[in-house]
Amino acid sequence: MASSITCIPATRNVFTAIPMTSITKRRVAAYARVSTDSDEQFTSYEAQIDYYTKLIRQREDWTYISIYTDEGITGTNTKKREGFNQMVADALAGKIDLIVTKSVSRFARNTVDSLVTVRKLKERGVEIFFEKENIWTLDSKGELLITIMSSLAQEESRSISENVTWGQRKRFSDGKVSMPYKHFLGYEKGENGQPVVNEKEAAVVRLIFQLFLEGKTPAGICRHLDANGILTPSGKQKWSQTTVNSILRNEKYKGDALLQKRFTVDFLTKRMKTNTGEVPQFYVEGSHAAIICPHEFDMVQAEIERRKGIGGHFSGSGVFSSKLVCADCGAFFGQKVWHSTDKYRKVIWRCNGKFKGEEKCKTPHLTEEEIKAMFLKAYNELMGNREQVIADCHLMLEMLADHSKLDAQIAKANEEIALVSGLVSACVHENAEKAQSQDAYNDRYNGLVDRHQKAMARLEKLNSERVDKVNRERELRGFIDALSTSPLVLDAWDEQLWRLLVVKGIVNRDGSIEFEFFGEKKVCVIDRCEGKAGKMAK
């Protein structure tokens, strides 16, 4: 007997579960976005809002809910699009049945983001209509079309990103300098598009450099700026050490510009990375007006390196902090106060490690007046032979400025690393392609890895030597400038010259100080008691 088959037609929508015969109006929202803040894009943005408001309201079967918008926000990632994220949240909460937008590229230029959002909304019965492509996401062909269109939009975004990157690098290679003026202290954009000095802000920059050379730490500088109500580059009241350090390190304040310090790793996530050689950099000398003279800037860089070498032992509590060293134990001299609460109060400098060892140091304490007097004698002795000292410094500078030997060694180390990397890759590929003794393979592989690590260690050492050489060259140039412009005879204490010229003073048991100056590392031995300058020695 033949079976009887009766078709029972669907009565509800497979996605929305709404009865087919229902005349319920769909709750409709629209999404509009432009990716820049330009006036032309603003006109487009306003036009989108006006268009979709009228479109939704004129449909009798639609109920207007809202227009969600993002202005000046990139479409390559949805994380920072507040309007978009609010719309999705409202849709998932059951407040929206249909979302209307201009095109797939307006919705998202990231294929993954686009499909994830579409599927998430589709599971809740929320449909998206892409007007330009005429795609309805609840349609059976909708997802395939969206995948294709999103991929095309993503490639368009990649192309735009590459074009922008090329344009930026072309500007860099032409030496054209731009700054994030809203968050960059001391400069503003001039009429010709080039940086010009903002004198009010420049005074703060000069103060920061001055305080640093006076011995203050970045933390101490922050406290000083906060106490005086000076605002940060972004207009905040609280300064951070990171901000101060970035100002002290930024070559733009001496009128130069290192371009492409960072670069975009991924055009979708917009993730930035510090450029450590992956892409070209361009150094432009004299690109704009300087706020800090090159000599002062270089002295600050030298002082930064000196403090870094001292490590956590540096103290900015006094003018002699981290400058005077005990000849017995190598510890720094620190400031001590005797009779702090009575009329016999006295400030002296004494070895911080004097009583820390099994046997206390034999170096004596010194008063500030004694230290200053001995520095004056050392300075005048040094300046008595100024021309010869400067000539010797220039000879040293010529040797330091020649990086050809180190550069050749660095290039050779890079070639070795590239060669070994290729051998490792070939070794792994060969092992995957054909059968061989795994013991022999492991020996060969481990040998190559060891060779690679040694080459990397050598490259790191060579790069460190080059950095040290550049820093030494910078110190020497600053020393020459300081000597050339300083008085031949100093009658009174000058704190600035103390900070600029003296590397350290080694205090001996007899109270004499061996002053080590920047430059040729000359040492002036000054006797404490008799005040006579000893023989100058290299």
Those residues with Cβ within 8 angstroms of residue 186's Cβ, 6 or more apart along the chain or in another chain:
197, 198, 201, 202, 204, 205, 253, 291
Of 118-132, 161-175, 225-239, minimum mean pLDDT range: 161-175
Closest CA to 379 of 487, 474, 478: 487
Pairing assessment for the beta strands 523-526 and 127-130 based on DSSP bridges: unpaired
* pLDDT at 500 exceeding the cut of 80: no
What's the per-residue H, E or C state across 42-80? HHHHHHHHHHHHHHHHCCCCEEEEEEEEEECCCCCCCCC
**Does the domain spanning 26-160 belong to CATH 3.40.50.1390?**
yes
With DSSP H G I counted as helix, E B as strand and the rest as coil, what are the percentages for the chain, rounded to 5? 50, 15, 35
The confidence score (pLDDT) of residue 267 equals: 42
pLDDT, tens digit (0-9, with 9 covering 90-100), for 15-34? 444 554 455 789 999 998 77
Question: Whole-angstrom Cα distance, residue 65 to residue 126?
Answer: 14
Mean pLDDT, range 292-306, rounded to an integer: 82
> What are the angstrom distances between the C-alpha of 473 and each of 304, 478, 500, 520?
14, 9, 15, 11
Name, of 276-290, 415-429, 518-532, the range with top average pLDDT.
415-429
**Two structure tokens written together for 395:** 């000879």
Pairing assessment for the beta strands 262-266 and 271-274 based on DSSP bridges: antiparallel
196 three-class SS: strand
CATH architecture of 324-523: Orthogonal Bundle (1.10)
Quickly count: other Cβ atoms within 10 Å of residue 351's Cβ.
25
Note whether 30 and 56 are within 8 A (CB).
yes
Note whether 235 and 204 are within 8 A (CB).
no
The confidence score (pLDDT) of residue 145 equals: 63
| Res. 149 pLDDT band, cuts 50 70 90 | low
Note whether 187 and 181 are within 8 A (CB).
yes
Angle in degrees, CA 504, 505, 511, rounded to 5: 170
**What does the mean pLDDT of the chain come to?**
78
Question: Whole-angstrom Cα distance, residue 344 to residue 217?
Answer: 31
| Res. 62 pLDDT band, cuts 50 70 90 | very high
| Res. 228 pLDDT band, cuts 50 70 90 | very high
The confidence score (pLDDT) of residue 42 equals: 46
**Two structure tokens written together for 421:** 């990397």
Mean pLDDT, range 382-403, rounded to an integer: 82
Closest CA to 147 of 127, 117, 126: 117
Between 520 and 512, name the one with better pLDDT.
Answer: 512
pLDDT, tens digit (0-9, with 9 covering 90-100), for 247-296? 999 888 988 887 766 655 444 445 566 666 555 666 777 778 899 988 78
Question: Whole-angstrom Cα distance, residue 432 to residue 143?
Answer: 39
* pLDDT at 496 exceeding the cut of 80: no
For the chain, residues classed under CATH 3.90.1750.20 are 195-311
End-to-end CA distance of the chain: give it in Å, rounded.
Answer: 119
CATH fold for domain 195-311:
Hect, E3 ligase catalytic domain fold (3.90.1750)
For the chain, residues classed under CATH 1.10.287 are 324-523
pLDDT, tens digit (0-9, with 9 covering 90-100), for 66-111? 999 887 554 444 556 788 889 999 999 999 999 999 887 777 656 5
Note whether 353 and 455 are within 8 A (CB).
no
pLDDT, tens digit (0-9, with 9 covering 90-100), for 326-360? 999 988 898 888 887 888 888 889 998 888 877 88
The burial of 133, by beta-carbon neighbours within 10 Å (0-12 exposed, 13-18 middle, 19 or more buried), is given as middle
The DSSP secondary structure of 409-446, one letter per residue, reads: HHHHHHHHHHHHHHHHHHHHHHHHHS---HHHHHHHHH
The DSSP secondary structure of 246-314, one letter per residue, reads: HHHH-GGGGT-EEE-SEEEEETTTTEEEE-SSSS--EEETT-S--SS-HHHHHHHHHHHHHHHHHGGG-
The confidence score (pLDDT) of residue 266 equals: 47
